[in-house]
Structure 1
Amino acid sequence: MRWEGNRESDNVEDRRDSDGGGGGMPVFGGRSIGIGTIVIALLGGWVLGINPLTILGLLSGGGGPVQVQQQQAPAHRPPADDRLAKFVSTVLADTEDVWTDVFRQGGGNYQQPRLVLFRGATPTACGTGQAAMGPFYCPADRKVYIDLGFYETLKNRLGAPGDFAQAYVIAHEVGHHVQNLLGISSKVDQMRGRVSQVEYNRLSVRLELQADCLAGVWAHHAQNARQILEQGDVEEAMNAAAKIGDDALQRAGGGAVVPDSFTHGTSAQRQRWFHTGLQTGSVKACDTFSSNAV
């Protein structure tokens, strides 16, 4: 991926030298949205395919965002010599440029999210975020959270190496931010408790697949504007999408594949929707909720 020398975002908070925001059991009242239950699913022995943030939200009864009581040092930008943080900051900046243009063309105003780098655990407006959850987006504070150690998991445990696979992860979470701005996330969250858990899982799948498609929309426009793609980059993203499909994760965990428990979509679905966004560059083409077959 061609990224070096491109603009870096001013919206990156580096909390990696903080104390992690305290320990104990996290309590969630708002729904955080993540790329997958990857680390906790593979290492913690949880039932795969169910987002731990969703589970914690149900246990806490849902409701509004939790007021975080922990104190922490003010966030600051990452060091200039931190190559991985520089990469993430550059990818975030590229998503800012793309989505600002897309919203403007649609007559809207894109409000940029912030991206938080942390280690272990950190306070969020959705509760205590933990590295074991993988990267996630909190709609309540409009921030993307990532422990950069996740990229080692993506490469070494899941078999999805490559810088564009890493960029896809960021673009997916920014896709959730776009959904939040468009009011899509809140409509899905309002269905919690109104439909069965199986039906809610199906809505979650459509939400996650749409975020995959929106990641593809970003890649489409970034390529047209800045020619960021190198040979093999698209394959890296497609491979990553395949490795984090619900069916692939359940097989990797040694368990049975249980479609009713899916919350993110199968490998084939995630690949197909990312490819749809990449090929079309159209937000309208990412309407997974109106599609008869996801």
Structure 2
Amino acid sequence: MKWKGRQASRNVEDRRGQRVGGKGIAGIGGGFGLILVIVFTLLNGGNPGDIVNNIGLGEPEQSSGTYEGSAREEEMADFVSVVLRDTEEVWTDIFAENGLTYREPTLVIYKDQVESACGIAGSAVGPFYCPGDQKLYIDLSFYDDLSQQFNAPGDFAMAYVVAHEVGHHVQTLLGTTDEIMPLRNEMSETQFNKYLVRFELQADYYAGVWAHHAQGMGYLESGDVEEAMNAAHQIGDDTLQKQARGYVTPDSFTHGTSEQRKRWFDKGFQNGTIQGGDTFNAKNL
């Protein structure tokens, strides 16, 4: 990606100098409980204990300090800021074309642990979006995890991560989040998981829509889109579960299979519009 020298977003909070502590973890607002942090985590195929251990109850305390990241980490901070700026341009235009107004989200960069309107989460949770404050949360160490642990290297793979979380923001603005999340109180976990899969695949579609328009921004290079497609494949529920325990349990899927995630990203990439991303009524999911 030829991203250096491009304009960065102004909607970035750098909280790497803050420490979140106290007796425990803040309760999660919005009535959705623990599911919010889990749902909006890009990687949901690991040990649930990793998430539970980073989310609890209590009153948090915050203290600010100075933080000096490595040259590589600062470069990644600049990178995700540039990607966020490009998503702002794309979605502002798309919303305007559809007679809507796009409200830009905020990207929070943190280290180890962070407090959000959805509660407090540790870096083991991975990148996530909180509709309660309309912010994306990313620990930059995830770039290395994506490359080394999940076999999805490359700058555009990380750009896909940001675009996916922005996709959840688009869902919030369009009212999809408010329609889907209350259903968890009306059905079994297995039934609700089927809605979560469609919810996540729609975010993948929206990430593809952004990638479609990124082609005209002048910084995509040969192989970039393939990096995103590979990332979508590597984080499918079936692939992650096979790697973690050697078998899969489809009823527990919440993000979709590798094939589904890759296909819906590609569909968004080919279409480039909001239309065509109705995963909830799609017969061939």
Distance verdict in 2 for CA 1:159–1:26, change over 3 Å: farther
CA–CA separation in structure 1 for the residues paired with 2:122 and 2:256:
23
After superposition, the Cα gap between the structure-2 partners of 1:229 and 1:68, relative to the gap in structure 1 and judged at 3 Å, is farther
Aligned to 1:171: 163
For 1:187 and 1:194, the matched residues in 2 are separated by 12
Q: Closer, same or farther in 2 for the Cα pair 1:126/1:68, shift >3 Å?
A: farther
From 259, 268, 275, the counterpart of 1:277? 268
Instruction: Confirm or deny that 1:11 pairs with 2:2.
Output: no
Q: Which residue of 2 aligns with 1:187?
A: 179
SS of the counterpart of 1:257?
A: coil
Measured at CA, do residues 105 and 162 of structure 1 come closer, stay the same or move farther in structure 2, by a change above 3 Å? same
1:83 maps to: 75
Asked whether the 8 Å contact 1:21–1:122 carries over to 2, the reply is no
Instruction: Tell me if the contact between 1:68 and 1:123 (Cα under 8 Å) persists in the aligned partners.
Output: no
Alpha-carbon offset, residue 26 of structure 1 = 5.7
Q: What amino acid sits opposite 1:250 in the alignment?
A: Q
Q: Which stretch of the first structure deviates more once superposed, 22-31 or 273-282?
A: 22-31
8 Å CA contact retained: 2:23, 2:60 = no
Q: Name the CA distance, whole Å, in 1 between partners of 2:168 and 2:4.
A: 26
Post-superposition Cα deviations, 1:206-235, rounded to whole Å, max 9, x if no partner, equal: 0000000000001111212x1332111111
Corresponding position of 1:261: 252
Aligned-pair CA distance for 1:123 = 0.9
Q: SS of the counterpart of 2:107?
A: strand
Q: How does 1:1-294 map to 2 (within 5 A)?
A: 1-22=1-22, 24-25=24-25, 27-29=27-29, 30=32, 31-32=36-37, 33-37=40-44, 41=46, 45-46=47-48, 52=51, 69-73=60-64, 82-224=74-216, 226-294=217-285
**CA apart distance, 1:22:** 4.5
CA contact (8 A) 2:9 2:85 kept: yes
Q: Matched residue of 2:185: which SS?
A: coil
Structure 2, gaps ≥5 residues long = none
1:283 Cα offset (Å): 0.8
RMSD (CA atoms): 2.6
Deviations along 1:52-71, one digit per CA (max 9) or x if unpaired, are: 48xx7xx99xxxxxx97533
- What letter is aligned with 1:139? P
**Residue of structure 2 in register with 1:63 after alignment:** none
Q: Which TM-score applies when normalising by structure 2?
A: 0.89
- Specify the code of the residue in structure 2 equivalent to 1:70: E
Deviation at 1:175, TM superposition (A): 0.3
Letter paired with 1:154 = L
Determine helix, strand or coil for the equivalent of 1:28.
coil
TM-score for both structures, normalised by structure 1: 0.86
Per the alignment, in what secondary structure is the counterpart of residue 70 of structure 1? strand
Aligned-partner Cα distance in 1 for 2:191–2:145:
30
* Count of residues paired in the alignment: 275
Cα shift at 1:193: 1.6
Summarize deviations over 1:258-279 as a string: whole Å, max 9, x none: 1000000000000000000001
Matched residue, 1:64? none
Any conservation in 2 of the 1:68–1:125 contact (CA below 8 Å)?
A: no
Uncovered stretches (5+) of structure 1, i.e. residues with no partner: 61-66
Quick one: structure 1 residues 253 and 79, their matched pair in 2 at CA, closer, same or farther if it must change by over 3 Å? closer
Q: Deviations over 1:131-179 (max 9, x none)?
A: 1100000000000001011111110111110000000000000000000
* Identity level (%): 49
One-letter code aligned to 1:142: Q
Distance verdict in 2 for CA 1:105–1:180, change over 3 Å: same
By how many angstroms is 1:80 displaced?
Answer: 10
Cα separation, 2, equivalents of 1:46 and 1:10: 34
AA at the equivalent of 2:232: A
